[in-house]
Amino acid sequence: MRSAWLANLLTWGKSFCWHDGFFGLDKTDDFQDRMKMPGMEIVGNSDPGNVLYFKKLLRWYPEAPWVIVRRNFEDSLRSSNRAFGKTGRHELEFVASKLDQLKEADVNLVQVAFEDLDDPQVIQHLADYCGVDIGPKERVAILLKMQVQIRPDLLKKAIREELQNWSNQKTENLLEIVTQ
């Protein structure tokens, strides 16, 4: 999982990069409000889930640069299993199919191999492509030695809570419809 690391890298100066920016929103349309950050010239979202919303994101931000980090499918599956427990192959295959659709779309896109994220020149190329300053080379050197990770325990708890809230809301809506 390098998306949290990338969010950290791309947050510097007048740029801010969310990690999992859709997480915690009541509806996906709230994402546009989340992306408005006073004082920030560039705001982005480093999130493997972006691909699930790519059509909407392309409507909202047609000129936005997209970065796809290519990784071996089996390595991705193992990483996901380590972070979240047993991840279904079919869920990851669904995400991969959405990724293929994104690659075919008319989009401002660059791809980089997962393994190349350790190369300072590749990192600088990504920053330049995204139009952001990532700070001095010493900062990049430090980040290249770091492993910025999500907290799966907290994320799982938050996801369970969100699913419960969503389920309760859907049940209330259904009861309201049935009783009308």
41 pLDDT higher than 80: yes
pLDDT interval class at 109 (50, 70, 90): very high
* Residue 112, CB-side half-sphere exposure with 13 Å CA sphere: 21
Q: Can you tell me the mean pLDDT for 101-118?
A: 93
Distance separating alpha carbons of residues 2 and 46, to the nearest angstrom: 9
Q: What is the pLDDT of residues 130-159, one digit of tens each?
A: 999 999 999 999 999 987 877 666 666 666
Distance separating alpha carbons of residues 170 and 18, to the nearest angstrom: 28
Domain positions in the chain are 3-149, 152-180
114 pLDDT higher than 90: yes
Percent of all residues in the chain with a pLDDT value above 70, rounded to a whole number = 81
Q: What's the pLDDT at 35?
A: 96
Q: What is the DSSP letter of 40?
A: -
Task: Measure CA 32 to chain center.
Answer: 15
Q: What's the pLDDT at 25?
A: 86
Write down the pTM of the prediction: 0.80
CATH of 3-149, one of 3.40.50.300, 1.10.150.120, 3.40.640.10, 3.30.2090.10: 3.40.50.300
Three-state DSSP string of 110-168: EEEEHHHHHCHHHHHHHHHHHCCCCCCHHHHHHHHCCCCCCCHHHHHHHHHHHHHHHHH
49 pLDDT higher than 90: no
Q: Residues in the chain, how many?
A: 180
Identify the three-state secondary structure at position 92: helix
pLDDT interval class at 91 (50, 70, 90): confident
Q: How far is CA 37 from CA 31, 48, 96, 131, in A?
A: 12, 22, 31, 17
Residues with Cβ within 8 Å of 112's Cβ and at least 6 positions away in sequence, in order, are 67, 68, 69, 70, 122, 126
